[in-house]
Structure 1
């Protein structure tokens, strides 16, 4: 993955710098970004994870952050094929995985999340990844619809130990796509 810096509106998007960025701030962002889902009764890992878990979850992955006024306001993590496990689909040699995707409520509906997804999809595609997958709670129809509009299709179910719901795995074929952002 590359280390290019991008701008979206007045928001800086760049890789998380493990040496200098604040893992506590990234964790607080994830906890806050997933609070709405927690309030709906879905105990996503990101709703309650601590900084040690955040560090483990980005280790070996490509973690992007959106920065506005020197604060992390959005994030997305991409795992190259072969990194994620726990699902037969995730363990395929040509399937990358997106996780820990969150945008603070005040920055939603401006296209920032879509732009960050475009960046991750383009980066995965440029590396030759055939599919990019993710999972979300079966009961979050709004998220399933959002990913469906982005071209993700239903693959199957997985029941993660650390959540209180069954997840649906969705995946998007990246072969032959004309992606919106340069990688």
Structure 2
């Protein structure tokens, strides 16, 4: 059943605890496949740090419940860290924003929420002057890789994050004209 979903930037009044719970619920199916994505069990503090590093957007149900999210962030410093690991080169390019924490609650999947969130994140990156968006996902997560490929992301490398049960593929997309996505202020 389709329900009205509103997209907007994460607000200071939004609960980081609720956002963390959404991430845990959204990534549970990946954990069940043996993939320990960071969002499977990240702490509230990690969620806070990740959203504060860039611009987070949320999807809300008609009742105001958080049902989706994505974070888009500026490039990292070449001598910095990314979730405790050395930063891959593609995440340090000055013309490249980094997309992370894409999540949709299982009850709201199949309604195009993830696509709308990605449109919004890519539009934000384009408006900030970035020419590319980069992301990473688990190599064995074929459905996720195909989703990103359909959106124009191409594999540019791979990385083994410390403590992960899988290698990650690094993907990047060149941004073109912006898509039209409605945002509530």
> TM-score, normalized by length of structure 2?
0.88
Name 2:132's counterpart in structure 1: 131
Give unpaired runs (5+ residues) of structure 2.
Answer: none
Name 2:178's counterpart in structure 1: 179
Cα deviation digits, residues 10-59 of structure 1 (max 9, x gap):
112111113x1111100000000000100011000100111011111111
Give unpaired runs (5+ residues) of structure 1.
Answer: 1-7
Three-state SS of the structure 1 residue aligned to 2:178 is: coil
- Runs of 4+ with deviation above 3 angstroms: 82-85
The separation in 1 between residues aligned to 2:141 and 2:40, in whole angstroms, is: 15
Q: Tell me the CA shift for residue 81 of structure 1.
A: 2.7
> TM-score, normalized by length of structure 1?
0.89
Cα deviation digits, residues 98-133 of structure 1 (max 9, x gap):
001100111111111101111111111122101101
Name 1:71's counterpart in structure 2: 65
The separation in 2 between residues aligned to 1:161 and 1:57, in whole angstroms, is: 18
Give the conservation status (yes or no) of the 8 Å contact 1:77–1:100.
yes
Aligned residue pairs, count: 173
1:160 aligns with 2:161: yes
Cα deviation digits, residues 59-115 of structure 1 (max 9, x gap):
131000111112100000000234675101101111110001100111111111101
2:6 aligned to which of 12, 21, 29: 12
Name 1:51's counterpart in structure 2: 44
